[in-house]
C-alpha cells in the first residue's frame, strides 16, 4: 500500500474525523501519530488502534502552546524519522466548547480569543513546526480542515467562522507558496454538515442529508496521497451542494 512508508501526524486525533483518519491510515500500514489535548481519550484511542497496528504513538498537546507543538513534532520524528503528512483536525466552535449561549456582544471576549487560538493560531503553530521538518526532508503534505461556516459566516461562532475562512482562502494558499521550494504542498478540505455530532443532521443540503464521516476522511486521504501531487494551494468545498442552494430557481 502507498501509506506503508509514510508517517502521518493528525491533530485532534482522539475524536471525530481525526480518530477515524488515524484508524484508516493504520489499516493502510502507515506510521500514525495521534495528537490531542485530552490525555484520557487519547490513551483509549491509541490502545484500540494498537490492538491491530503497532506503528502508532499518541502525544498529548495543546495546539495553542507552541512548545508543546514542537515537542509533538519531535516525538514523531524521533519515533518514525519523518513526518510526511500533517492533518490539522483539532478545532471546534467556541460557543459550544466554552458552553456559552449569549449574543456576540454579551459574551466574554475570552471566548473569542479561545476560538481564534484553537482554530487558527494552533493550525499555524503546527504548520510552522512541521514545515521545518518537511523542509529538511524536501517533501510533505499539509492538510487543513475548513468548513462551510467559513463561506457562510456565523453570528454565534464568529472566531470559528473567521478561522475557517482564513484557512480556506489565505493560509492554505500561503503555506503552499511557503512550501514551494521544499516540495511541500497544502490543501484544505472544507466539509458541510458531517455526522460527527447528531446536531449536524439538521443542517440542510441539496442531497437532503449530512455527510458520513468516512466520506470526508476518504477525500482527505485522497488529497494527501501521491495520486494528488498536482493539487496544491486550494480548498475543496465538500458540502453536498449546501453553498449553492440559495441559487436554485
The answer to whether residue 25 is catalytic is: no
**Which has the closest alpha carbon to 57: 30, 38, 75?**
75
Distance CA 236, CA 122 (A): 21
Contact 213, 16 (CB under 8 A): yes
Residue 173, sorted as left (phi over 0), alpha (psi -120 to 50) or beta, turns out to be alpha
Please return the burial class of 249, using the count of CB atoms within 10 Å of its CB with bins 0-12, 13-18 and 19+. exposed
| Set of cell numbers at residue 30 | 502507515
CA distances to 34, 69, 82 from 137, rounded to whole Å, are 21, 19, 7
Question: What crossing angle do the helices spanning 122-137 and 66-80 adopt, rounded to 10°?
Answer: 30
Sign of the four-CA dihedral 8, 14, 18, 23: positive
C-alpha cell read off for 161: 467562522
Residues 72, 38, 192, CA angle at the centre, nearest 5°? 90
Active-site residue, from 25, 125, 160, 222 = 160
Q: Which residues are catalytic?
A: 160
Amino acid at each position: 500500500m502507498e501509506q506503508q512508508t509514510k508517517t502521518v501526524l493528525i491533530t485532534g486525533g482522539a475524536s471525530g474525523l481525526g480518530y477515524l483518519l488515524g484508524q484508516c491510515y493504520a489499516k493502510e500500514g502507515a506510521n500514525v501519530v495521534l495528537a490531542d489535548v485530552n490525555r484520557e481519550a487519547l490513551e483509549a484511542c491509541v490502545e484500540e488502534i494498537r490492538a491491530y497496528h503497532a506503528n502508532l504513538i499518541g502525544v498529548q498537546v495543546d495546539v495553542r502552546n507552541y512548545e508543546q507543538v514542537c515537542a509533538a513534532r519531535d516525538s514523531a520524528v524521533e519515533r518514525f524519522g519523518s513526518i510526511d503528512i500533517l492533518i490539522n483536525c483539532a478545532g471546534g466552535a467556541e460557543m459550544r466548547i466554552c458552553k456559552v449561549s449569549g449574543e456576540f456582544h454579551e459574551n466574554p471576549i475570552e471566548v473569542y480569543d479561545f476560538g481564534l487560538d484553537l482554530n487558527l493560531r494552533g493550525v499555524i503553530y503546527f504548520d510552522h513546526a512541521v514545515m521545518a521538518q518537511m523542509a529538511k526532508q524536501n517533501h510533505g503534505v499539509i492538510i487543513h480542515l475548513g468548513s462551510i461556516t467559513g463561506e457562510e459566516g456565523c453570528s454565534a461562532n464568529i472566531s470559528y467562522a473567521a478561522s475557517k475562512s482564513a484557512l480556506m482562502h489565505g493560509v492554505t494558499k500561503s503555506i503552499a507558496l511557503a512550501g514551494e521550494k521544499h516540495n511541500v504542498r497544502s490543501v484544505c478540505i472544507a466539509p458541510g454538515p458531517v455526522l460527527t455530532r447528531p446536531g449536524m443532521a439538521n443542517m440542510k443540503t441539496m442531497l437532503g442529508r449530512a455527510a458520513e464521516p468516512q466520506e470526508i476522511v476518504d477525500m482527505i486521504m485522497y488529497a494527501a496521497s501521491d495520486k494528488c501531487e498536482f493539487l496544491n494551494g486550494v480548498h475543496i468545498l465538500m458540502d453536498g451542494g449546501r453553498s449553492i442552494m440559495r441559487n436554485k430557481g
